[in-house]
Chain A
Amino acid sequence: MSTPDKPAFQLDYGDLKRRHRKAKIFANFCATITWMGVALLAVLLAQVSIDGFKWLDWQFISSFPSRFPAKAGIASALVGTLWLISLIAIISIPIGVATALYLEEFNSKNRLNRLIELNISNLAGVPSIVYGIIGLAVFVRQLGLERSLLSGALTMSLLILPIIIIASREAIKTVPMSIRHAAFALGATRWQTTWAHVLPAASPGILTGVILALSRAIGETAPLIMIGGLTYVAFFPEGPMDSFTALPIQIFNWVARPQQEFHELAAGAIIVLLAVLLLMNAAAIVIRHKAEQKFK
């Protein structure tokens, strides 16, 4: 034990220096790793831009695919992607948010519900090709929806539903319990509380999750190829039962060809796909910001 005029422990400044050095080394290590990732991405983007930019013009956007690279375009793929993403949003958002609300607000914590929760987390980790097989077996064959936009959208909705549910649950969890209690104390039912207070307060988080999930869906290729999105489509789909192509399929198709020009076309399509993705993410940020302002 120490005497009263001495501190209970001795400060060892040499040791402190070593600890600071350790912290610095670790910080530098983390920074290096981060910048390596960024650099890799930059190289990738630069490569794609060099290859693809010269093909980017109105003709490229507005033409159907063609055997001749100079005439080829992504019109049908772009329209197909927009169709697909709209259908996916219509299908997956209501189901996903409703499921999250059920699990968070209405669910009594019994064994069946815990099993459901566990399985949703597992589903989020299932490879996308497996969803493609399910889509092919159930939607295309069993339900006879053929190789249509609807089959594709349903398959993709299955794929992103776990993501939407998990993100929405997290958003709902951040709504303070005191808000719910305030509503209940005014004689509100569970539904009135949820609809008027929990859902609006959680909506910025839910929206962000939904848009990120949709961005994931927009880039998925494997399930669409599995259920047979077409690779050569020289028409616009006019309804959900039409056959379709989408940007990732078009890119996949072009990359698989031997000619250099088609590889460059693929790069051009990748730029368009990235632009659509960035637009969606930007929208997510704007919507989130707006919604947060409203609740301040």
Chain B
Amino acid sequence: MNSTPNEQVPLADDSIIDLQEVSIFYSGKIAVDKVSFPIAKNKITSIIGPSGCGKSTLLRSLNRMNDFIPGVTVDGMVTYGGQNLHGSEVDPVEVRRCIGMVFQKPNPFPKSIYKNVAWGPGINGYKDSMDELVEQSLRQAALWEEVKDRLHESALSLSGGQQQRLCIARALAMAPDVLLMDEPCSALDPISTAHIEDLLFELKSRYTIVIVTHNMQQAARISDHTAFLETGKLIEFGVTDQIFTRPQNQRTEEYVTGRFG
């Protein structure tokens, strides 16, 4: 790192999550090294970088999903609503209610489409009309028209792209503050990918989205802010346009122009 990146880039003033010197270790081996940047409210922040640079690990630290990987320890602060998410007094279940996640491979429950969406709100004590919530969530995920006549069929009968949108609908049904997406399009064909990118634009007005992606065009197309990681270090963070057209760092330039990675 040649500078503290977030000082030189004009960013939206209200950040919803702040990463401060976040380091993540796998059984003592460092995977993410003192990364700091803010995540702006109602914006799309993308995290890019070559394979194995720690971007997914970093993303998972934002809703405590690293808890399920044995041997992972997190240093530093991830501040959300004035609280360090990794503080001992924080209940990870509570964190995950507010910060939802969509995974790399579509992972619908082997149940009906309806139950996939309704289960999360159900166990968290949602009291209003479940039918309405399911419809609204599926509409937000641009899936309603395709599945409205087969809500009680198995979610596994859907295509990969539809399954991923169902997973997005399932996450949206929880009305999360932040939606984390771990390479959500990597298992999908270009048409499904385009569907989901359109969807993210729509969702931006209501949700804050953090997306990890391998696809640089995707990051350039959809995100407002971009963080570039290499071997666990934050190389550059800034407004997406700037990262892709006038990067400050040599490595960033090489990466975004496709010279390595």
Contact = CB atoms under 8 A, between A and B. Distances in A.
Contacts of B70: 109
A254 to B, nearest CB: 50
B251 interface: no
Contact of A179 (B65, B101, B107, B123): B107
Interface of A: 109, 176-189, 192, 196-197, 201, 295-296
Contact of A192 (B101, B110, B123): B123
B101 A185 contact: yes
B96 A184 contact: yes
A178 B103 contact: yes
Contact of A185 (B94, B96, B124): B96
Interface of B: 63, 65, 68, 70, 93-94, 96-97, 100-101, 103, 105, 107-110, 119-120, 123-124, 154, 156, 167, 170-171, 174
Contacts of B97: 186-187
A177, A182, A183 pick with most chain B CB within 10 angstroms: A182
B65 A184 contact: yes
B26 to A, nearest CB: 16
B96 A186 contact: yes
A190 to B, nearest CB: 9
B174 A186 contact: yes
Q: Which 4 A-B pairs have the closest CB atoms?
A: A187-B97, A186-B120, A178-B107, A185-B101
Determine chain A's interface SS by DSSP, over half rule: helix
Contacts of B107: 176, 178-179, 181-182
B187 to A, nearest CB: 12
Contact of B170 (A179, A181, A186): A186
B174 A187 contact: yes
A97 B128 CA distance: 35
A173 to B, nearest CB: 15
A176 B167 CA distance: 16
A185 B108 CA distance: 12
Given A178-B103, A178-B105, A192-B123, A185 B110 contact: no
A184 B68 contact: yes
A201 B97 CA distance: 24
B137 to A, nearest CB: 12
Nearest to A180: B68
A109 B70 CA distance: 10
17 contacts: A109-B70, A178-B107, A182-B167, A183-B109, A184-B65, A185-B65, A185-B103, A185-B171, A186-B97, A186-B100, A187-B96, A187-B123, A187-B174, A188-B93, A196-B119, A295-B156, A296-B154
A68 B154 CA distance: 61
A194 B27 CA distance: 27
A42 to B, nearest CB: 41
Contacts of B110: 179, 201, 295-296
Given A188-B123, A196-B119, A196-B123, A181 B103 contact: yes
B109 A188 contact: no
Question: Which of B70, B97, B100, B120 is packed against the most chain A CB atoms within 10 Å?
Answer: B120
B118 to A, nearest CB: 11
Contacts of A180: 68
A296 B157 CA distance: 8
Nearest to A108: B70
Nearest to B124: A187
